Amino acid sequence: MEGTRSLAALTVEEIRELWSRTYNREGKPDWSHIFPYYHEDVVFRDSIQEIRGIEEFKALCGRLTDRCQQLRMKVPSVVHGGDCVFLQWEMTMIFKGYPSSTIYGATRLGLSGDGRIITQRDYYDLWGDIFDNIPWFAKPYRRFMKKKFG
């Protein structure tokens, strides 16, 4: 398929650089440089939703762009082996009128036979990471979590 790229052919450093560029430091994020690495039948899943197909995935990225004033991404580690890539990340979301929130997570990218991303599964603690940034709520939330689940 014309305009597609194989993630399998990239080094760990090239993958880290691509995903670090996903979120710029001045203004809205731009995912356009990574879309060619995705298969048209990609399945994306996280703790909130499941999205099927590249057009739905692009729409999801657009909604996140609209919600945030700014996003920052740090990718401390990448592991690439066979048809799988794991990324550890720290995403800081900046909203108008609210404190910034840093979400810590990991992503598993499954590669198709042609090296494009066919599955993406993001793992993170959305509410815990957001609540930790609300001073009057962080300690009671963590006490509750420890009491009920710890």
Average pLDDT over every residue of 43-57: 95
Model pLDDT, residue 132: 74
Angle in degrees, CA 110, 111, 113, rounded to 5: 145
**Residue 2: is its pLDDT beyond 70?**
no
**Residue 27: is its pLDDT beyond 90?**
no
By the 8 A CB rule, do 84 and 12 touch?
no
CATH number assigned to the domain covering 7-124: 3.10.450.50
Element (H, E) at 12: helix 12-20
Whether the pTM exceeds 0.85: the reply is: no
Model pLDDT, residue 3: 73
Structure tokens, 80: 């690439």
Domain residue ranges of the chain, discontinuous segments joined by +: 7-124
Average pLDDT over every residue of 48-60: 95
Average pLDDT score over the chain? 85
Cα gap 5→116, rounded to integer Å: 7
